[in-house]
Amino acid sequence: MHIVIRPSAEAAAFLAAEAIAQALRANPGIVLGLATGRTMESVYARLVYLHLEENLDFSACHTFNLDEYVGLSRLNRNSYRYYMHEHLFRHVNINLQNTHLPDGEATDLDAECLNYERLIAKCGGIDLQLLGIGQNGHLGFNEPQSPFHSRTRVETLSDATISQNSPLFLRPGQMPKRAITMGLGSIFDCRQCILIATGNQKAEIIFRTLEGPITNLIPATILQKHRKCLIILDEIAAGLLKKNNHHESGQALQPISL
């Protein structure tokens, strides 16, 4: 695990985007794992900028998102397909047929989960997975006590997750209570991952994730065992970390080999 602390949320997002861009330039056919949420909006805005101003080319890559709400149409403003379209896909030269999210409206959700795993495998696995972290330590929608070996499946959302995400809905009470999510095992299989966390609300869970014991009560602690994981934090999110020798206040990202 390599931890880099930047002075602000904006600087952290900039660094995450630059790391993704570096990987994409090195391997135009890269398979990217993508995440959603407020933290990612600045990351995607920077990637769009790099496409428009520096010709960052998305035409040959494939993408797989971590999760999608059960029951939401892709046209619903709260679906993650809609989110990805608005924040990234429609602004860059990506082939939409190469962008994949679980189908939350699938008639057979279990079959959809199996198919998603097969599709990832058909593309050769995920080269670089972008991650956020929930305040309860979830990755994707893998809630506390999710098995570390779990694969893509339907997950019932915790009260903490519903409380955190429901304000994003026009009518918070209409937030789905279930989602399809890549499992922790699916995420752990990625060749490299980048987790970005910013702000005071993430400080406690970042401390417990990076400096506490590995436990599925905090799913993100699985990243302590990942072979190539970059953690990007702003100074506020890193404020409770005590092991000063395991991070750096990087101003530039060293080249990353995938």
Distance CA 135, CA 201 (A): 7
Distance CA 11, CA 79 (A): 27
Q: Indicate the burial class of 233 (C-beta count within 10 angstroms; 0-12, 13-18, 19 or more).
A: buried
pLDDT per residue as tens digits for the range 83-100 = 999 999 999 999 999 999
Write down the pTM of the prediction: 0.93
**Other Cβ atoms closer than 10 A to 172:** 12
Place of tokens 């995420």: 187
Q: Is the pLDDT of residue 42 over 50?
A: yes
pLDDT-based confidence at residue 172 (cuts at 50, 70, 90):
confident
Domains and CATH numbers, the chain: 2-248 (3.40.50.1360)
Q: For residue 163, what are the contacts with CB-CB under 8 A and spacing of at least 6?
A: none
Write down the pLDDT at residue 248.
58
Task: Return the active site residues.
Answer: 67, 136, 138, 143
pLDDT-based confidence at residue 247 (cuts at 50, 70, 90):
low
Distance CA 13, CA 19 (A): 10
Q: Which of 5-14, 130-139, 236-245 has the least mean pLDDT? A: 236-245
Q: Is the pLDDT of residue 245 over 50?
A: no
Q: What is the mean pLDDT of residues 113-129?
A: 98
Q: Indicate the burial class of 159 (C-beta count within 10 angstroms; 0-12, 13-18, 19 or more).
A: exposed
Q: What is the mean pLDDT of residues 102-121?
A: 98
Distance CA 82, CA 76 (A): 7
